[in-house]
Structure 1
């Protein structure tokens, strides 16, 4: 089974962290959830993003999520795959040099990377999506395009795989996104 690293932060989207964290463990993978400047046993706050007919998603407080690994000392070589949840966390996580180095490690090694929603902001900041078909929350389409990616405008329940990258627009795509990621993990 695979060793999967999840990089998260405060105000990560609740479902986009909780569901993959639990589902990947359920099928036997080892999952380490980390956050810069936090240690195992510490919590991060999450937010629930919902689609209620407004011009963009609404945001509500989510659960507190307890991290199970320390960010300090994490080495990409110790993991087989990377998962990047969305929400507001990616917008500031992309400013952390070690986070960018980790994302680049997984890309350069050809290891599976799953990103959902605003997680594409980390892929773009790491400069790993040139000429790759990438889905994301539609508001991230300009960032994908400016980073040289080919924005895939797919239904909110769909996901797309391009080589080692599996991306999706938001949490309603979990069945497709996690199924495609699982295929790369096997």
Structure 2
């Protein structure tokens, strides 16, 4: 299996699990993942946030890790990537104001390349005007925004052509499995390893 070349666009206060888990899991199965942030360079970091449901009417937020960037957003060429990953958190609400981010996202939809989008990241799709006519999911609070932009919101991990969407990081297993399938990645399961005995 030849690994795919993927780009993940993040910003400060991206949701910690939603960036770290796909970054590591997609590398684990052989894909190259460039993590980029506008106005930052390879070797810089973004701050992450951990969102959690703790019995209140909305999620709480705690500071997470620092996520290292391994590529420079200003240097990337979307033509050179096979797929796009957009995690959620607070970053999408301001990343959607960046014209270069929107142009990059539009490339993946115009070229019909796989895009994995989670939680609040459909805010970027709405701003890029690529959600009209699509069926997707998101953090439930974005349902009215998606519908106002011409999309259909559903309450489950959803595949609509090249677009794979999930609601929260609890959707990771199914969301990543569906994205990997859309990428055309085949994973063979061998016999489980056994611990050495004395």
TM-score bracket relative to the smaller structure: over 0.9
Please identify the structure whose Cα radius of gyration is greater: 2
- How big is the alpha-carbon RMSD for the aligned residues of Structure 1 and Structure 2? 0.7
Structure 1 partner of 2:130: 128
Moved over 3 A (4+): none
Q: Which runs of 5 or more structure 1 residues have no equivalent in the other structure?
A: none
The alignment partner of 2:71 has SS state of coil
- 2:70 aligned with 1:72, yes or no? no
Q: Which range moves more in the overlay, 117-126 or 145-154? A: 145-154
Q: Which range moves more in the overlay, 26-35 or 144-153? A: 144-153
TM-score, L = length of structure 2: 0.90
What's the CA shift string for 1:6-64, capped at 9, x where partnerless?
A: 00000000000000000000000000000000000001000000112211111001000
TM-score, L = length of structure 1: 0.96
State which of 158, 167, 170 in structure 2 corresponds to 1:169.
Answer: 167
Q: Which runs of 5 or more structure 2 residues have no equivalent in the other structure?
A: 185-198
Number of aligned residue pairs: 182
What's the CA shift string for 1:70-121, capped at 9, x where partnerless?
A: 0112111010000000000000000000000000000000000010000110
Correspondences of 1:40-51 after superposition (within 5 Å): 40-51=42-53
Q: Which range moves more in the overlay, 71-80 or 171-180? A: 71-80
Structure 2 partner of 1:181: 179
